[in-house]
Structure 1
Amino acid sequence: MTWPPLSEFAFVSGRAATAEDVSAGRAVFVLQDTGQPIGEPINIIVPQYALHRDEVSGTQTHCVIIQAEQARGQRLVGACVLSDHSVMAGLFSEFELLGTTPLSTNK
């Protein structure tokens, strides 16, 4: 597994994502209620490397976190999957944060 430089990824940090961010590939989702934004950024470093763990299958997916927000007691993450550059969203608890330094292990 080769971890690409974080500079290759568009992201949203320090603010809630907008529909424009999603369209531009900087975010995966917009948290809103009746058209009004309700998301608040989670205080983590974005972007950063991570592993997503599927709680049902146990599958681990290498990814880069490009968005982290919370609203109404839910903490959510948007990420870019490294194997195919698709995007995914999941609960914050499903991600293992790995930091900003590329890893040399096959974790």
Structure 2
Amino acid sequence: MHFEASLGYTGATATVHLAGVLDEESVPQLRSLLEQAAAHQPLRRLILRLHDLESISTGGVRSLAFLQQHLEPQAEVVVDGATGSVRQAFRRGGLDSALTYLDERALFPGHLAA
């Protein structure tokens, strides 16, 4: 499956949707999208929608880590829908502790998903 990426904004939140296989050849496309997201000011939250992302290369993880390091200290990076293999790639890349994962069972504090 090929790689697809899109970017949208709602106020101070940027949402990046990634789908397919993010291999090393796709890293420049990801990097460009992340640079656009980081340029949006003020950026308080970056949401990574990864439900359709099958895998991510080491270069993709490094690109996300680089972005996270250059965000304002109060900015939050939220991961929505990462598969086990994508989460494992984040852990191997040392990025896991800098991310907030949405729990699909509890979308809002105190409320269970239907």
TM-score by length of structure 2 reads 0.27
Point out which structure has higher relative CO (alpha carbons under 8 A, 6+ apart): 1
TM-score, normalised with respect to structure 1 = 0.28
The structure with the largest strand share of the pair is 1
Q: Which has the higher helix share?
A: 2
